[in-house]
Amino acid sequence: NAGVTQTPKFQVLKTGQSMTLQCAQDMNHNSMYWYRQDPGMGLRLIYYSASEGTTDKGEVPNGYNVSRLNKREFSLRLESAAPSQTSVYFCASISTLSYNEQFFGPGTRLTVL
Amino acid sequence: SQQGEEDPQALSIQEGENATMNCSYKTSINNLQWYRQNSGRGLVHLILIRSNEREKHSGRLRVTLDTSKKSSSLLITASRAADTASYFCATRGANSKLTFGKGITLSVRP
């Protein structure tokens, strides 16, 4: 039982490049989330997917797109990376049966030059 | 914008002392949760308290909730060097989203 996994762990991009961050969970959770964490800002919600087939914007969605590929996988895409998107990105999931504990992945550290 | 605001922003204590961290929030909640984050890692859930509960314990953790003041506190008793981490409060309202505060950095000196 791996929990929530994210790839890659580290990534360096040049301004204007695109990339997709991958996230998968093996806990049969319905809801999945993407956050970014910046120094002094805490965690801010980018997008979330309450269930397979649905996605919704969070607090800071601009510059990002998401795909809920199936129940297990939720990807985050940066179409044209900007230096302001330098951050640590966390994926998380939760069971909608309890809406209790949210499980987090280990994070992706992204630098945009 | 953040719902939860933790206080203090940073806390440094000696091993064996108790650590108290506070969280205030603005709107009504279903539950409030505390998470820990070790350096370079993801967040790990510590404890949850529902809006109709006032106090909860889990091992060396005690969390209280005062809905009239819209505040919560997390107490870690008999702290250890391994408790050094960042601690976040998070609130869940009527929707499926958790809203996190900015976090408290706890340093426990051996």
Which amino acid is residue A32, in one-letter code? M
Q: Is the separation of the CB atoms in A85 and A98 below 8 Å?
A: no
Rounded to an integer, what distance in angstroms lies between the CA atom of residue B110 and that of residue B15? 5
Judge: B42–A33 Cβ closer than 8 Å, yes or no.
no
Q: Residue B54 burial by CB count (10 A; 0-12/13-18/19+): exposed, middle or buried?
A: exposed
What does the pLDDT look like over B12-54, one tens digit per residue? 999 999 999 999 999 889 899 999 999 989 999 999 999 999 9
Average the pLDDT over each of A32-41, A97-106, B60-69 and give the range with the smallest value: A97-106
What would the DSSP string read from start to end of A6-71? EE-SEEEE-TT--EEEEEEESS--SEEEEEEEETTTEEEEEEEESSTT--EE-S--TTEEEEE-SS
- Averaged over A50-54, what is the pLDDT? 90
- Averaged over A23-30, what is the pLDDT? 94
Which residue among A50, A59, A105 sits closest to B42, beta carbon to beta carbon?
A105
What does the pLDDT look like over B94-105, one tens digit per residue? 776 888 999 999
Q: Which residue has the higher pLDDT, B1 or B52?
A: B52
Residue A98 has pLDDT above 80, yes or no: no
What does the pLDDT look like over A68-82, one tens digit per residue? 989 999 999 999 999
Residue A53 has pLDDT above 50, yes or no: yes
Q: Which residue has the higher pLDDT, B39 or B64?
A: B64
Rounded to an integer, what distance in angstroms lies between the CA atom of residue A21 and that of residue A75? 6
Q: Is the separation of the CB atoms in B104 and B11 below 8 Å?
A: yes
**Which two tokens mark A1?**
């039982």
Q: Is the separation of the CB atoms in B80 and B15 below 8 Å?
A: yes
Choose from B56, B100, B104 for mutation: most chain A CBs within 10 A.
B100
- The whole-number pLDDT of residue B5 equals 81
Share of chain A above pLDDT 90, in %: 82
Residue B3 has pLDDT above 70, yes or no: no
Check CB contact of A61 with chain B, cutoff 8 Å: no
- The whole-number pLDDT of residue A99 equals 64
Q: Residue B24 burial by CB count (10 A; 0-12/13-18/19+): exposed, middle or buried?
A: middle
**Which two tokens mark B79?**
């702290």
- The whole-number pLDDT of residue A7 equals 96
- Averaged over B47-76, what is the pLDDT? 96
Share of chain B above pLDDT 70, in %: 96
Query: With bands split at pLDDT 50, 70 and 90, how would you rate the model's confidence at B1?
Result: very low
For residues A36-63, b (16+ Cβ closer than 10 Å) or e, as one string? bbeeeebbbbbbbbbeeeebeebebbee
Residues contacting residue B83 through CB under 8 Å, at least 6 positions apart: B19, B76, B106, B108
Name the phi and psi angles at A12, rounded to 5: -120, 125
Query: With bands split at pLDDT 50, 70 and 90, how would you rate the model's confidence at A55?
Result: very high
Chain A nearest-CA residue for B38? A106
Chain A nearest-CA residue for B103? A42
Q: Is the separation of the CB atoms in B16 and B78 below 8 Å?
A: yes
- Name which of A57, A56, A43, A55 is nearest A90 in CA terms: A43
